[in-house]
Structure 1
Amino acid sequence: MNHHHNPPIHHHTTTTQILKQSTTILINSNHLSTFFLLSFLIFSLRLNVETATHSLTSFIDHDPSIKSLLNRLHLPPSSSNHHSPRVKKPFLQLTRVGTLDDDDFFSGDENPDHRFFDTARNIKKNQTLLFFDCFDHLGFVNYSDNGVRVPELVPSNGKVEFKLSESVGIDEKIDADDIYSENVNEGVEDFLKRFELEHHEMSALLFLLGVLSASYGFAILGFVVTYAWVLGIVFVVVVNDLLKGYKSFVRTLWDGSNLGLKRLSGFIVMRWAIRDALTQLLGVWFFGEIEDQYLFFKIFVRLKLMPFSIVSPWVNGVEKEIYGFLLSWILLDTLVSFVFAVDAWIAMADTRKSVREVVKEGCHLLSLMLHPAINLKLLEGIVCGSFARWVLAGLFGKLFASAFQSFMEVYFMVTWLLYYFSVKSKDANASGVPFGQRELERLLEDVR
């Protein structure tokens, strides 16, 4: 009786069966327009990321002042101490995590005198409390104003308390905000002198870094939202097809996008973080020794945006390193994506599972049908990989290649979801736990 009311999901055991049903769902007249729209979303994300990458690198290439500026961003030796000159360090530098380290912006030696002036105030009645940090390099010696006296030398990281003299009136209190602003300006001037920068060059550099940061932030947001929508809508379409149900085009998009944002946003952020970490670690390995700041900055821009659209970090002059980087990145990315092949659907099906539980169940399910899983991943790597894109771009153009691979990416989402349902049904039957149409209906309960 239970099987009559809750018929099991037919699970496919071969790669051919999974691909056949995926194709049937994809070319269904009720779903084809939906899948084209999802492909367009992925295509738009890729196109925007690649356009942003091209625009940033073109700006760097066509502005001669940027090259001169980046190559001059080294700290000069200390003029005050000829016996222990400061070690030159580049303004931009790959660290162990493959990103710009905070200290690299102002690094000169191991002393803390490279930092901006930092002060805080606490005024209470006739008492002023000032905290001075790293004063020694700014040249404040025996400064006095309105009864406030500063010693000849304020130790670094020191905390000194000063009291206004009794003769100072309330109206003559020191404006700590003015002191802070004045010393911040002096800190900026000190920074400009250290790197031998003009004010307009500093503005150009800050503008470039600001545009890069904004582009990076929008890329992360676009990546998370786009894939949450696409995966959620694919899930709703496939489950409805298996249940022989029907939803309108608008209702499918609405339910799927809501479901994806609710259940998959965190997983997609993790997916981006892993790919970004992989990219940066390989970047450290292959490009960490580059001393040319201009060349490095162009590679850095491409590396930061590469995880969103697999933008090749191609820069003339380091071809050997780039070949090694791309080969290593493709192999490792394929391996990592195989491990996480069904994890998105596990997280979609049960939001209560932790990341460790999702990964553990994913590896378990892959082991139950390992041969079809390997075949699907190899086929996906060939069709959606860099070699296929290079061939298609050469024959039909870059836009066609990107659009085709975006459509095939959606196709393989359907394929892996059907694989997940098949292996889940097989595992449930072996464990004696029911997994049929009733369980599929429950997966959509919170969007009805």
Structure 2
Amino acid sequence: MNNRSPPSSPIIHLHTTTQILKQTTTIFSTNHHLFIFILLSFLILSLRSNVESATHSLTSFIDHDPSIKSILSRLHISTNPPVPPSIANRRRRRPFLQLTRVGTLDDGFFSGDEDPDHRFFGNLHKPQPNFTSLILDSFDPKLGFANFISDNGIRVSEIVRSNGGIMFKSVEKIDDHEVIKENEGESVDDLQMFLQRFEIEHHEMTALLFLLSVLSASYGFAIFGFVVTYAWVLGIVFVVVVNDLLKGYKSFFRTIWDGSNLGLKRLSGYIVMRWAVRDALTQVLGVWFFGEIEDQYLFFKIFVRLKLMPFSIGSPWVKGFEREIYGFLLSWFLLDTLISFVFAVDAWIAMVDTRKSVREVVKEGCHLLSLMLHPAINLKCLEGIVCGSFARWALSRLFGKLFAYAFQSFMEVYFMVAWLLYYFSVKSKDANSSGTPFGQRELERLLEDVR
């Protein structure tokens, strides 16, 4: 008698774009789910609004602070900076005790033979095989040495072989306090040289350092906010959709709590990788289109916008470079769409199985996309049109910028649900074709961490 339970039947049969969008709309139309999705849209809108506000504040500070504008306009780094004679003529002092091995390799390989101060006794002036030069200096009785080194100090005949050569020379003792003062003096001289080189005043340097500190802090908070926000959003979407497919019910607060914890636990690494890829894409295109700008003032404004662009939907718009900006935006939109298509279901693969490496996640994602390629292309094209820059521009003209950003944030959550349904559909199709059904029991296991 066979006591094994029957395999779970698949509960997802969505094989066309129309079926996926219809099921997505059904999930959104539920009152309980609609409030959750509106909250998620508000989280994304808040992230983008804060990034846009930080970008606008930084660029406005650059525009309205005459010190920043003045110093950036003079920052043209020369290839051969002048070096003060006092720094160029400095000589490195020798250490208190120096041992030099000569004669064992090619003559003149080490610096011992090149020093004109090296004088040996008798016929030992030439390097001999296995010849050791021992240099001892400054045998001051205050340092613990005897007055007569040959009688009361080091017995040369006992510790130096007959074929050795000894040279005694007086070397100036280095005081630690003098070394510290010298290093401090070099740092001050370097700073003064830098300020004189670019004709920078101290108040201008203070303003520039303040700007760089604010930019670094804003960039760090943007990364942190991006990772946390999208981990929460993707985790909550996952919990809502799986519960809907299983016909389960959870309270509003329980859904938010479970989803946010699940997202932070399973997707933080993936979201960091997603940000890194977009940031690298933005910087490469930025160098390609804006790398030859000689005006450091305008280049810095573009640089600020490029560093914060992966977190928002703004553009690095600066007057005077419309041609470069149009080329950058077109290239960025096409490449970002292509990369996001490759990574369309990778977030859900990483959510389902956290043990997979990045290569395994990308490989499985490409495999699943190939199984239902036509619906995947349709979904990505629709997402690119609705959430793209042209739709944002049109909505901004008709209803205002805030409405455009809010609408696109809401539609971004909508397509997250659509891509999750697509993933479950193609995963079920792939599993059933290999004889391992993907149904209700498999979906229940996906929420074991939150039960």
TM-score by length of 2: 0.79
> Are positions 1:138 and 2:141 aligned together?
no
The answer on whether the counterparts of 1:9 and 1:437 sit within 8 Å (CA) in structure 2 is yes
1:251 is displaced (CA, Å) by 1.1
Distance in 2 (CA, whole Å) between partners of 1:142 and 1:166 is 24
Q: 2:73 aligns with which of 68, 71, 74?
A: 71
| 1:306-321 correspondence runs (5 A) | 306-321=309-324
Task: Specify the alignment match of 2:440 in structure 1.
Answer: 437
Partner AA of 1:166 in structure 2? D
Distance in 1 (CA, whole Å) between partners of 2:29 and 2:354 is 30
> Are positions 1:189 and 2:196 aligned together?
no
The answer on whether the counterparts of 2:47 and 2:229 sit within 8 Å (CA) in structure 1 is yes
Q: 2:268 aligns with which of 265, 269, 288?
A: 265
Task: Specify the alignment match of 1:232 in structure 2.
Answer: 235
Task: State the percentage of identical aligned residues.
Answer: 74
Task: Specify the alignment match of 1:203 in structure 2.
Answer: 206
Sort the Cα spacing of 1:425 and 1:69 in 2 relative to 1 into closer, same or farther, 3 A.
same
Distance in 2 (CA, whole Å) between partners of 1:238 and 1:408 is 16
Task: Specify the alignment match of 1:166 in structure 2.
Answer: 140
Distance in 2 (CA, whole Å) between partners of 1:63 and 1:31 is 48
Task: Specify the alignment match of 1:386 in structure 2.
Answer: 389
Task: Specify the alignment match of 1:20 in structure 2.
Answer: 22
Larger relative CO (CA 8 A, sep 6+): 1 or 2?
Answer: 2
1:178 is displaced (CA, Å) by 4.3
1:32 is displaced (CA, Å) by 1.1
> Secondary structure of the residue that 2:176 maps to in structure 1?
coil
Distance in 2 (CA, whole Å) between partners of 1:394 and 1:441 is 46
Distance in 2 (CA, whole Å) between partners of 1:284 and 1:347 is 32
The answer on whether the counterparts of 1:233 and 1:257 sit within 8 Å (CA) in structure 2 is yes
The answer on whether the counterparts of 2:317 and 2:325 sit within 8 Å (CA) in structure 1 is yes
Distance in 2 (CA, whole Å) between partners of 1:165 and 1:375 is 87
The answer on whether the counterparts of 2:67 and 2:207 sit within 8 Å (CA) in structure 1 is no
Distance in 2 (CA, whole Å) between partners of 1:301 and 1:323 is 18
The answer on whether the counterparts of 1:11 and 1:421 sit within 8 Å (CA) in structure 2 is no
Q: What per-residue deviation string (whole Å, max 9, x for no partner) do you get for residues 251-307 of structure 1?
A: 111111111111111111110111111111111111111101111111111111111
Task: Specify the alignment match of 2:244 in structure 1.
Answer: 241
Partner AA of 1:138 in structure 2? I
Gap runs ≥5 in structure 2:
97-110, 112-134, 145-173
1:138 is displaced (CA, Å) by 2.3
Distance in 2 (CA, whole Å) between partners of 1:165 and 1:197 is 49
The answer on whether the counterparts of 1:11 and 1:423 sit within 8 Å (CA) in structure 2 is no
Distance in 1 (CA, whole Å) between partners of 2:399 and 2:305 is 25
Task: Specify the alignment match of 1:56 in structure 2.
Answer: 58
1:212 is displaced (CA, Å) by 0.9
Distance in 2 (CA, whole Å) between partners of 1:287 and 1:185 is 35
Task: Specify the alignment match of 1:294 in structure 2.
Answer: 297
Distance in 1 (CA, whole Å) between partners of 2:211 and 2:36 is 39
The answer on whether the counterparts of 1:45 and 1:223 sit within 8 Å (CA) in structure 2 is yes
Task: Specify the alignment match of 1:158 in structure 2.
Answer: none
| 1:72-87 correspondence runs (5 A) | 72-75=74-77
Task: Specify the alignment match of 1:279 in structure 2.
Answer: 282
Task: Specify the alignment match of 1:44 in structure 2.
Answer: 46
Distance in 2 (CA, whole Å) between partners of 1:185 and 1:167 is 37
Distance in 2 (CA, whole Å) between partners of 1:38 and 1:239 is 17
Task: Specify the alignment match of 1:322 in structure 2.
Answer: 325
Sort the Cα spacing of 1:137 and 1:182 in 2 relative to 1 into closer, same or farther, 3 A.
closer
Q: How many residues align?
A: 381
Distance in 1 (CA, whole Å) between partners of 2:136 and 2:63 is 53
Q: What per-residue deviation string (whole Å, max 9, x for no partner) do you get for residues 174-199 of structure 1?
A: 33544443332222222212222111
1:165 is displaced (CA, Å) by 7.4
1:142 is displaced (CA, Å) by 7.0
> Are positions 1:360 and 2:334 aligned together?
no
Sort the Cα spacing of 1:358 and 1:136 in 2 relative to 1 into closer, same or farther, 3 A.
farther
Gap runs ≥5 in structure 1:
76-87, 89-107, 115-134, 148-154, 156-160
Task: Specify the alignment match of 2:431 in structure 1.
Answer: 428
| 1:410-429 correspondence runs (5 A) | 410-429=413-432
Distance in 1 (CA, whole Å) between partners of 2:278 and 2:352 is 23
Partner AA of 1:377 in structure 2? K
1:210 is displaced (CA, Å) by 1.0
Task: Specify the alignment match of 2:156 in structure 1.
Answer: none
The answer on whether the counterparts of 1:313 and 1:322 sit within 8 Å (CA) in structure 2 is yes
Sort the Cα spacing of 1:351 and 1:206 in 2 relative to 1 into closer, same or farther, 3 A.
same
Sort the Cα spacing of 1:309 and 1:142 in 2 relative to 1 into closer, same or farther, 3 A.
closer
Q: What per-residue deviation string (whole Å, max 9, x for no partner) do you get for residues 75-112 of structure 1?
A: 4xxxxxxxxxxxx2xxxxxxxxxxxxxxxxxxx44x9x
Distance in 2 (CA, whole Å) between partners of 1:41 and 1:374 is 28
